[in-house]
């Protein structure tokens, strides 16, 4: 060790000695007092360690659980701001712009905000748009029962012809009569605002329990009434017709009075399949079900009896109704057989024309076959240019031409539609296409 290191060590020893001497001169508590102080400090620390975890972590856990619950509510139970509504048709997801038809029974549309729209039998409508605050519904024909859940920012619009029914939150019935071009609104609860080209600005407010009818069509001249028929000399009442097999025709009144009544149950003969078929299960019950509007049961009986048998036996109207029963049962091939039979067996009749419309409708709604659909709608319009389904057939033809991007054809159909039905359900689309827009 060198000199410098030795000197430093000596200085350190002298400093330590002076510190020890100073500590010895300080007054110190007795050993027992020092031990009691240590025990008190340890006890205080022990109590603090047991009490704090029992209070603070519990409060933190409760706060965290509440925050998580609120987060779940806002994330899943409530629609997020900006998300458009969705809807379901009898439990199945609905699509924007797709036609919904209630042919025989009521059809319901359930929306994600709790609102509901019910289509009465014979009604056709479609949801044209949805947004975070409401939806737009186009009523082509028939009646809707509308129940919109009230919210401060709800905005719903139901369109019928040239009229718009603006809804915030209420319940009402609305009907659009295509032939009379008349809108009827009957309030059940709340109020709506109706606007239209023939309604003075800023529109018409309708509140429960008020009902109104609106039309922009010019009054139609009353059709001349035919003179009452001459009263024929009183004659003996004709005999009541007896039950007939489906292939037989009803005799005239004079023939029924003179001809003997046929036997109640004609004997079966070899080579007479009609008599045999008439005794088969479901031979006559399908007509009973059809007349009562029970299309599903009628179709089941027909399938049990044999579709080929009924195709050659049913009337034109019955064939169309059975076609609709098969279409509603999602059996398009069977429906097409009934509709085609109506056209072949009853060519030129109303039933044949209606069958053509339904064939076009199946191509339009079921397969998106626009060219095929437009051909069938054109057949209906050629056979019944002023028929009850003419507005729909022409309007759908217009949609087909637009979807096929046949611009010249679309403009031609649009001009025809506006000339015939200026206030019709497709008038807005026709006005757009007539101006040359794609």
Place of tokens 């507005």: 391
Question: Is the pTM value of this prediction over 0.85?
Answer: no
DSSP state of 160: E
- Chain-centroid distance of CA 253 in Å reads 50
How far is residue 216's CA from residue 162's CA, in Å, rounded to a whole number?
8
Residue 64 burial by Cβ neighbours in a 10 Å radius (0-12, 13-18, 19+): exposed
| Beta strands 135-147; 156-160: pairing state | parallel
* Model pLDDT, residue 349: 92
Instruction: Classify domain 87-214 at the CATH class level.
Output: mainly beta
Within a 13 Å sphere around the CA of 33, how many CA atoms are in the beta-carbon half?
3
- CB–CB of 172/146 below 8 Å? yes
Long-range contacts of 72-78 (CB under 8 A, 24+ apart): none
What are the pLDDT digits (tens) for 223-252? 455 555 544 444 444 433 333 333 333 333
Residues β-bridged to residue 205? 193
Q: What's domain 282-434's architecture? A: Alpha Horseshoe (1.25)
How far is residue 338's CA from residue 342's CA, in Å, rounded to a whole number?
6
Tokens standing for residue 129: 């748009």
| DSSP strands (E only) in 120-226 | 123-130, 135-147, 156-160, 163-167, 171-177, 182-189, 191-195, 204-207, 211-215
Show the low-confidence residues of the chain (pLDDT under 70): 1-9, 11-12, 15-82, 201, 217-284, 436-438
- Chain-centroid distance of CA 348 in Å reads 35
- Chain-centroid distance of CA 297 in Å reads 25
Element (H, E) at 100: strand 99-102
* Model pLDDT, residue 337: 94
What does the domain layout of the chain look like in residue ranges? 87-214, 282-434
* Model pLDDT, residue 270: 34
How far is residue 343's CA from residue 174's CA, in Å, rounded to a whole number?
35
Residue 269 burial by Cβ neighbours in a 10 Å radius (0-12, 13-18, 19+): exposed
């Amino acid at each position: 060790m060198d000199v410098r290191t030795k000197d430093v060590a000596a200085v350190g020893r002298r400093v330590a000695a002076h510190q020890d001497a100073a500590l010895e001169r300080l007054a110190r508590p007795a050993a027992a007092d020092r031990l009691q102080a240590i025990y008190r400090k340890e006890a205080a620390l022990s109590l603090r360690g047991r009490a704090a975890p029992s209070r603070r972590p519990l409060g933190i856990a409760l706060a965290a659980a509440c925050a998580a619950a609120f987060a779940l509510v806002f994330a899943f139970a409530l629609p997020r701001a900006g998300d458009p509504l969705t809807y379901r048709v009898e439990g199945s997801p609905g699509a924007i712009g797709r036609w919904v038809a209630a042919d025989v029974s009521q059809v319901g549309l359930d929306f994600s905000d709790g609102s509901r729209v019910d289509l009465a039998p014979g009604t056709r409508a479609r949801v044209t748009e949805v947004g975070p605050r409401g939806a737009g519904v186009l009523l082509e024909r028939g009646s809707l029962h509308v129940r919109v859940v009230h919210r401060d920012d709800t905005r719903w619009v139901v369109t019928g012809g040239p009229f718009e029914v603006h809804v915030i939150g209420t319940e009402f019935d609305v009907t659009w009569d295509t032939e009379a071009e008349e809108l009827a609104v009957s309030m059940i609860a709340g109020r709506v605002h109706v606007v239209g080209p023939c309604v003075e600005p800023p529109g018409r407010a309708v509140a429960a329990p008020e009902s109104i009818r609106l039309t922009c069509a010019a009054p139609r001249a009353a059709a001349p009434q035919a003179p009452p028929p001459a009263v024929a000399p009183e004659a003996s009442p004709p005999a009541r017709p007896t039950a007939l097999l489906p292939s037989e025709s009803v005799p005239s009144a004079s023939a029924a009075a003179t001809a003997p009544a046929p036997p109640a149950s004609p004997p079966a003969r070899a080579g007479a399949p009609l008599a045999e078929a008439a005794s088969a299960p479901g031979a006559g019950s399908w007509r009973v079900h059809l007349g009562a509007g029970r299309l599903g049961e009628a179709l089941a009986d027909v399938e049990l009896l044999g579709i080929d048998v009924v195709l050659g036996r049913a009337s034109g109207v019955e064939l169309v109704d059975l076609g609709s029963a098969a279409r509603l049962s999602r059996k398009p091939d069977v429906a097409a057989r009934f509709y085609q039979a109506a056209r072949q067996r009853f060519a030129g009749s109303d039933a044949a024309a209606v069958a053509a419309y339904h064939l076009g409708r199946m191509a339009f709604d079921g397969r998106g076959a626009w060219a095929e659909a437009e051909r069938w709608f054109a057949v209906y319009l050629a056979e019944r240019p002023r028929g009850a389904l003419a507005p729909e057939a022409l309007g759908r033809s217009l949609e087909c031409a637009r979807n096929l991007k046949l611009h010249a054809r679309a403009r031609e159909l649009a001009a025809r539609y506006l000339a015939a039905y200026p206030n019709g359900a497709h008038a807005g689309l026709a006005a757009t296409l007539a101006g040359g827009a794609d």
